[in-house]
Every structure is written in structure tokens, then in C-alpha cells.
Amino acid sequence: MTVRTRFAPSPTGLLHIGNARAALFNFLYARHHGGQFVLRIEDTDRERSTQQAVDVLFDGLAWMDIESDEKPVFQSTRQARHAEVAHELLEKGLAYRCYCTADELKDMREKAMAEGRPPRYNG
């Protein structure tokens, strides 16, 4: 079995110490075991993802001398596949549609937090 690790940051903000630690740990773990390290950019939040954050991420990884063994994957380029799998799950009855509005979801989160519970979708 080949060890394969990945670093999958969301480019909605700048690279921080937690991101750097995760990337470094996964990179070193893969190298230690003769495996592969891959980079997957979780850029599906189109409203908050920015090119500046992607650039800072790449600059930070280069500064740490961390290189992906493959071309980085941007999740936004795989939306068709994600939709295909979601439809398969719906057809098999393994998933369901949520018809909540953004405001309803926000209210759920705020209510849960006000009650001291973790903010979770109530189903």
C-alpha cells in the first residue's frame, strides 16, 4: 500500500500557522513513508474564495519548500462530477434535498449557539 496524503485548504483567507502545520505534517509523513503528497484546493465557496488567497497559499508552500507530487486539483473544476454523484445518491435514497433558505440556516446556527450547542443542520 502506498501512503498518499493531501493538503486541502479553502482559499477563503490567508495561509495561517494551522494550515502550514497541516501541510508540513502531511508532506513529511508522505516523504517518510515513500508516498505521495497532493494539493487539493477547496475553492467551491465561490463567494469567499479569492485568487489572492490561492497565490498566498502557493507562495507559502514554496517558501516552506513543499511541493505537490501532482498538479494541484481545484475542486471547482470537478463540479460536474460532484453533481453526478449527488444525483446518484438522491436516486438511491441515500441523500435528500434541503429546501432551507440561507436565512433559515443562519437562524438554525444562531439558535444552536445561543443554546450552547454546536451549530448543526437540524435535518
The DSSP output letter for 69 is: S
CA 63 to chain CA centroid, nearest Å: 22
CB distance 44 to 12 below 8 Å: no
CB distance 6 to 37 below 8 Å: yes
| Per-residue pLDDT tens over the stretch 61-113 | 999 999 999 999 999 999 999 999 999 999 999 999 999 999 999 999 999 99
What's the pLDDT band for 12 if we cut at 50, 70, 90? confident
Burial 72-99 (b: 16+ CB within 10 A, else e): ebbbeeeeeeeeeeeeeeeeeeeeeeee
Cβ atoms < 10 Å from Cβ of 34: 8
